[in-house]
Chain A
Amino acid sequence: MSENSMIEVRHICKEFVSAKKYPGLKGAFKGLISREKTHKLAVDDISFTIKEGEIVGYIGSNGAGKSTTIKMMTGILTPTKGTCLVNGIDPCRNRKKNAQNIGVVFGQRTQLWWDLPLSESFTILKEIYNVSDKDYEERMEFLNRVLGLEEFFAQPVRNLSLGQRMRADLGAALLHNPPVLYLDEPTIGLDLVVKDNIRAAIKEINEKYHTTVILTTHDIEDIEELCSRILIIDQGKLIYDGSLTDLKERYGTRRKVVMEVQDTEQAKRLPLNEYLGVAKDAYETQADQDSSTITISFDKNHLQVSDVIEQMMRHTQVKDIKIFETELAEIVKAIYKHSA
């Protein structure tokens, strides 16, 4: 294992072979002996390495295999092929030892005890993870500050709102200060304020404890706010592994210049391609009478933003200019669509 790499995944595959389940008592026996199977390759030969202290976004469309990968890294699912090492431990061979090193939040469900007051869930977790009294106090103080747990600490988990429950779950995953934190859709269904709080908490935990975080999400903002690196998976295959800036560099080359002009009709008729010495389809122009704006979109590898602006300003009356990069959401959408 190379120095300070926290997670090493090598050629990991997961094929779900599910014996068909049958209804009824007869079915129960049939299920025991039947050989009828359905196969599904959910994760297909994925490899990556994650360094200590990184926050990595793991994204992909629905059913891409994100949760399956996370489950293999937590040790609750055995890979069909390939290996996985988390902090030097094989999570499947050594589930309990690995569990001591990781914190997990599955946004879709809770790991807390439904009937118990939150406070008691935490007491149980303290025993399970063997957290000392001193550490417990210190950790609780921190978690209270970043997640505001005391507000609902005495309530049974089943009475908590989704946002409260998610904060509680995140707190529970962090009580033992694990070096690795898996977050499977931690912001699903949350309002904007709670989302912000959760993100801020993740950031602070990462900075304070140098926790390695792997995050799956469908909210691109999570990625933009938190992750320096992203992995994109599609139909079980890893199709991108790199920094966010590289991704934007590679796929996000569209630029959009929006100008407020005196006379949209005149501006639209301008032979911009001649001024710039390029083909007519190198850009697209759209005029909007109501807001008296004209929008020119193009690929920045073919045209310079500054040239476009310069030529426009030379030939028409420009009052205001806005420049837009491609949004990450659009890039991601394009990648999902492209590989589908």
Chain B
Amino acid sequence: MRRRLKVYMPFLENQFKRNLAYKGSFYLFILTSLFGPFISYYLWSAIYGSSGGGMLGGLTQSEMIIYVFMSYVTSSLVTVGVSDAISDDVMEGTVAMTLIKPIDYRMRLIFMALGEALYRFLAPVIFVWIGLEIYKAAVLGLGVTPVINILLYILSVIMSIFIHLLFDFCFGMVAFVTTYMFGMNMAKEALLGFLSGQLIPISFFPQVLQQIFEFLPFSSMIYVPVMVYLGKYSGMELAFVLGRQLLWIVLLYAFGSYLWSRITKRLIVLGG
């Protein structure tokens, strides 16, 4: 295990450093990506205002504000992916360059993505998060989030990151079959936005849809950690949603391994 870390750590560091090198474009990215949550914030404020200030979808207006910003925080960390790297590798034929080395392709991609997540955590996630906590305590008068919730959230969000990475690896395998990754990616992101609860909390959907969504891995990516943060689960239910996250990790890992072994058997390395 120690040795494994030593092998793959450089890929994490690398990705982190590479992000540092392009900070200019990243600040722009932060700015534009913060539009989303602020628009949601005003939208939801209006909705709650016109509905007379009660509970909607099981959330109070204050909880909704926290949901909006924590879903931003969560998705910033969780949506680091590997499928773009895979499709680049396929297009440029650089998969071969990894395969001639005694390393695991998926592991390499995952560590690169973790480097990206680490960078996003330091800029801007941590600042938005702290800002939200200050706002929550000072303006909403709810006090800061209990440490236990924060710890459970961290646990849940780490699992979310892996669920998404492992899912995205499976999705990335499509790159070996088609050249139309761009469009597939758009479709994936739109779908994820909905099914993960990033745009609208899943509790807003009709009961039937909720059950279907809960059955899919996507709700475990964003909705679950944010609800954990809000303290919406307790006891057995909490154990259940966390256990389900773990189960998704195991399943997606196994499915990814299966796909990869199928693909490498008929892998076609371009060029040369």
Spell out A's residues near B (CB within 8 Å). 16-19, 21-25, 27-28, 31-32, 67, 70-71, 74-78, 95-97, 99-100, 102, 104, 106, 108-111, 113, 115-116, 120, 123-125, 127-130, 184
Q: Does B14 contact A (CB under 8 A)?
A: yes
Chain A residue numbers with a CB within 8 Å of B183 are 24-25, 28
Contact of B180 among A24, A67, A74, A124 (CB under 8 A): A24
**In the bound complex, do residue A76 and residue B10 qualify as a contact, i.e. CB atoms below 8 Å apart?**
no
10 contacts between A and B (CB under 8 A): A23-B179, A28-B178, A32-B174, A78-B267, A96-B102, A99-B101, A104-B100, A106-B96, A127-B7, A184-B272
Complex CA gap A124/B99 in Å reads 15
Complex CA gap A27/B178 in Å reads 8
Contact of B10 among A31, A123, A184 (CB under 8 A): A123
Spell out B's residues near A (CB within 8 Å). 3, 6-7, 9-11, 14, 18, 93-97, 99-104, 174, 177-180, 183-184, 187, 264-269, 271-272
Complex CA gap A102/B97 in Å reads 13
**In the bound complex, do residue A77 and residue B102 qualify as a contact, i.e. CB atoms below 8 Å apart?**
no
Chain A residue numbers with a CB within 8 Å of B101 are 99, 111, 125, 128-129
**In the bound complex, do residue A108 and residue B272 qualify as a contact, i.e. CB atoms below 8 Å apart?**
yes
Q: Most chain-A CB neighbours within 10 Å: which of B10, B94, B100, B104?
A: B100
- Whole-angstrom distance between the Cβ of B173 and the nearest chain A Cβ: 11
- Whole-angstrom distance between the Cβ of A123 and the nearest chain B Cβ: 7
Complex CA gap A231/B25 in Å reads 52
Complex CA gap A96/B101 in Å reads 7
Chain A residue numbers with a CB within 8 Å of B184 are 25, 28
Complex CA gap A77/B10 in Å reads 27
**In the bound complex, do residue B272 and residue A106 qualify as a contact, i.e. CB atoms below 8 Å apart?**
yes
Chain B residue numbers with a CB within 8 Å of A104 are 100
Chain B residue numbers with a CB within 8 Å of A109 are 93-94, 97, 271-272
Other than A95-B99, A102-B100, A120-B14, give 15 A-B pairs with Cβ distance below 8 A: A18-B268, A25-B184, A27-B179, A28-B178, A31-B177, A75-B99, A76-B99, A77-B267, A77-B269, A106-B272, A109-B97, A113-B14, A115-B18, A124-B10, A128-B101
Closest A residue to B6 by beta carbon equals A127
**In the bound complex, do residue A76 and residue B179 qualify as a contact, i.e. CB atoms below 8 Å apart?**
no
Chain B residue numbers with a CB within 8 Å of A115 are 14, 18
- Whole-angstrom distance between the Cβ of B10 and the nearest chain A Cβ: 4
**In the bound complex, do residue B179 and residue A110 qualify as a contact, i.e. CB atoms below 8 Å apart?**
no
Contact of A130 among B3, B100, B187, B266 (CB under 8 A): B3
Chain A residue numbers with a CB within 8 Å of B95 are 76
Chain A residue numbers with a CB within 8 Å of B14 are 113, 115-116, 120, 124
Chain A residue numbers with a CB within 8 Å of B93 are 109
Chain B residue numbers with a CB within 8 Å of A102 are 100
**In the bound complex, do residue B102 and residue A128 qualify as a contact, i.e. CB atoms below 8 Å apart?**
yes
**In the bound complex, do residue A28 and residue B100 qualify as a contact, i.e. CB atoms below 8 Å apart?**
no
Chain B residue numbers with a CB within 8 Å of A18 are 268
- Whole-angstrom distance between the Cβ of B239 and the nearest chain A Cβ: 37
Complex CA gap A31/B264 in Å reads 18
Chain B residue numbers with a CB within 8 Å of A31 are 177-178
Complex CA gap A90/B264 in Å reads 15
Chain B residue numbers with a CB within 8 Å of A130 are 3, 7
